[in-house]
Amino acid sequence: MRRMTRKYSFNMTELVSDFNRFHILTMLYQGPTHGYQIINQYKHNFKKELSPSAVYPFLHQLEEKHYIKHTTTVNESKLRNTFELTPTGQALCRNLFRYFTEIHSTAFKILLHTCTHCNSQIYKGTYHEIINGTKKPFCCIHCANTYKQSIITTTTNTTTQPIHQPT
C-alpha cells in the first residue's frame, strides 16, 4: 500500500492506526462540530468513552496544520469552539477515506467465498457440498444442483454429499 506523505504533513498510516482520530476526521467531514459532540457521538456509536485528551489535542494539531478552523460562539453563557474542515482538510479526508477503503477491501476479501458455479461473491450464508471429496462453496442450493448436473453430464463417477450448515 502506498503512503501518502508528499502532499500532507500527516502520515496516512499514522492516522489510520488510530481509530479515534479516524472517527474524529469522519465527524468533521460530515460538517462543523465541536469536541463535546465528537465525544457524545463516539459514545453513541461505539458504546465506549472517548477521553477529551484524545480529542482536543488532535483538533489543535489539525488546526496548526490548517486542516481545520474553528469559530467561537457563546452558548448558554459558555464559550463553544466549533471546528470545520478547510478545503485542504477535506482533501486530506478524501485521501484518507480512499486509503482506508483499500485496507478494508483487502481485509473484507479474505472473508468472501466464491460460488463454484456462478462466481458470485458470498459474505454470509454460503452453502457447501462435498463433491468428489472436496468441499465446494455455493451461493445457493440451485447453483450446487446445476454445478452437479454439469459434472454428471461430463463425468459419470461424481459423488456428492450436501453440507446444510450455512457459514
User: What are the pLDDT digits (tens) for 125-153?
Assistant: 889 999 888 999 999 999 999 999 888 77
Residue 155: is its pLDDT beyond 80? no
* 75 and 48 co-located in one domain: yes
Residue 48 φ then ψ, to 5°: -135, 155
Residue 160: is its pLDDT beyond 90? no
Q: Containing domain of residue 143, as a range?
A: 113-163
Among the ranges 21-25, 49-53, 68-72, which has the highest mean pLDDT value? 68-72
* 38 and 91 co-located in one domain: yes
* 32 and 48 co-located in one domain: yes
Q: List the CATH number of the domain containing 85.
A: 1.10.10.10
Instruction: Give the count of domains, the chain.
Output: 2
Q: What is the pTM of this model?
A: 0.60
What pLDDT sits at residue 165? 58
